[in-house]
Structure formats: structure tokens, C-alpha cells
Structure 1
Amino acid sequence: MAEKTLQETENFVRSVAEHKGWILNRDEDFIGHLIEGLRVNYNRYGFYQCPCRDSYGTREKDKDIMCPCDYAQADIDEFGQCFCGLYLAPDFYETHDDIDGIPERRPEDLYPD
């Protein structure tokens, strides 16, 4: 498996946002850390696993938290942002002052021990 570069990972993130009709957080330092976390996880596990959540390290057990996670759309619909704060609703900056922590939707029985 070829390792992903930061540029490839950033391209992935931007492509997801465009495809879903979302925007990215405008804090470049913040999204840089998230993109780096996604890159590290891809190179470690072979898939873009959410950098904000603990992982089992297997595609089967982590399929719900592969970026964009299964919870992203519901989080964006309700809170204007995904759990990480990477992806935002298109009108986020018109309706929100800042990125806030939001409740975790992932069921506790799916958390790694």
C-alpha cells in the first residue's frame, strides 16, 4: 500500500466537502492538524479514519468512523459542523460564531475498550 501524502489527503478532504455540499473550517492551522491526523491514520490503517476518535485499527470495526463518518451529515444538519469541526454547513459562518464541541453520536458499545 502506497502511503498518502499531505497533499493527497488535503485533496481527499476538499473533494469530500465539494461532493457533499459542505465547506471546510476556515482555520488553516486547525484543519492542517486534522488533515495530518487523517494522513497518519491512512498510513497506519489503510483508510481515512476520523482523527478525533479512538480506533480499533480495522476497517470492519471502524467503518462508521471512516471520513466522512456515518454521523457527519446528522451532526452538520443539527449543529452546523461535524464532530471534528472539519466539515461545516455551507452557511456555518453566517449562523455561528465559532466551532463548538458537540455531543458524540457514536454509540458507546462501538468504542474500543
Structure 2
Amino acid sequence: MRFLPLDKLINLHDGYRRAFKIDQLEILLLQEAGKVWAVSSRCPHQEQSLIDAEIIDEQLLCPRHHFAFELANDGVQVDGLCASLKVFATAYEGNEIGILLP
């Protein structure tokens, strides 16, 4: 597994949202209620940007159609109306947070 750094830990805070484009990957790093997630930056339904998505009870809500994705359950879409949201495993190295890639 290869560590791909995204940001410094000092920059994280509740409400943090930042999109990254690395090669073909479009990743959204976000923090809410002290928890940090890295997910695909676009909704699998109609490619809506998730930068303004709300997180309520560990469910990410797409700002366009309000589809809910369970962040703690591999991004499964709650109603099964579309594909799951890609959730990346976060990892820490020194003072950085990132994701692990194969």
C-alpha cells in the first residue's frame, strides 16, 4: 500500500472540506463531529460535486437530490437508488493525513 498525503493535520477542523484531483482520482477530504473521511468528490448518481454536502449522523447528503450515503458503511446509498459512494481509508503519517492506495 502506498500513502498518498492530502493535507496537514493542523488544517483539519469540523466543517473542513477540500477537494483534490490526483491523476484520475477526485477526492474530497472532510471532517465533521471530529471524524475525518476521504470520499469520491462527486455523487455517483449524476456526478454532482459533494463539496457542499451536509453530514448528518455519519450520512453524507448529496446537495442536488439529497441522496444519503452511509460513511461508516462503505458509502452505501441508504435507499439503494444509486451506486455506493467510494470511501477511501484514511491514514496518518507524521503530521499529514492522506489515503492508502494499492
Q: TM-score, normalised by structure 2?
A: 0.28
Structure with higher RCO (Cα < 8 A, 6+ apart): 2
Structure showing the higher strand proportion among its residues: 2
User: Which structure has the greater CA radius of gyration?
Assistant: 1
Give the helix-richer structure, 1 or 2. Answer: 1
TM-score relative to the length of structure 1: 0.26
